[in-house]
């Protein structure tokens, strides 16, 4: 989508601190990190968010998860732990309408989230 921030990051129109890329996914450091590891993993095709996943495109979640596992290894947070977060909609705190998986790690995280 031409006016989507994350689509612009994927096609290089907006710079990003890339940590991983494959045929289906792209990952980069969050511009406003909440922990020493804070990475966003996104599908290369535009999907607004979790509400738009259905049986036909649910493989997007598998691809995000597999890419995230690679990143967790290279970031060195596999042993100590980390969190996967997908914010959805207004109450969920979603600010960018392109599906993204936050990988957050590198410190002891609080629960429940605020
Ligand atoms: P969410 O609030 O779940 O929609 O997450 C959006 C995330 O994108 C936030 O954590 C922002 O800090 C992050 N973000 C926004 N713009 C950029 C950017 N240009 N580069 C990297 N991260 C960004
Ligand atoms: Zn997009």
Q: Record the pTM.
A: 0.98
Q: What is the predicted pLDDT for the residue at 3?
A: 94
**DSSP reduced 3-state for 72:** helix
Q: What is the predicted pLDDT for the residue at 2?
A: 82
Ligand 1 pocket, 48 CB below 6 A? no
Residue 96 alpha carbon, nearest atom of ligand 1: 4
Residues ≥6 apart with Cβ < 8 Å to 106: 35, 36, 37, 75, 77, 80, 82
Q: What is the predicted pLDDT for the residue at 37?
A: 98
Which of the four CATH numbers 3.30.428.10, 1.10.730.10, 3.30.479.30, 3.30.930.10 does domain 5-105 have?
A: 3.30.428.10
- Per run of 10 residues, the mean pLDDT along the chain (length 114 residues) is 94 98 98 98 98 98 98 97 98 98 98 92
Q: What is the predicted pLDDT for the residue at 46?
A: 98
Domains of the chain: which residue ranges? 5-105
Q: What is the predicted pLDDT for the residue at 42?
A: 98
């Amino acid at each position: 989508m031409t006016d989507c921030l994350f689509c612009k990051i994927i096609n290089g129109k907006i710079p990003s601190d890339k940590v991983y890329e494959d045929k289906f996914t792209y990952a980069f450091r969050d511009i406003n990190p909440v922990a020493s590891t804070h990475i966003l993993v996104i599908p290369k095709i535009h999907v607004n968010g979790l509400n738009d996943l259905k049986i036909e495109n649910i493989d997007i979640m598998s691809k995000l998860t597999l890419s995230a596992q690679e990143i967790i290894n290279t970031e060195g947070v596999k042993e100590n732990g980390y969190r996967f977060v997908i914010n959805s909609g207004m109450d969920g705190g979603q600010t960018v309408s392109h599906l993204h998986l936050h990988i957050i790690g590198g410190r002891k995280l609080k629960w429940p989230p605020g």
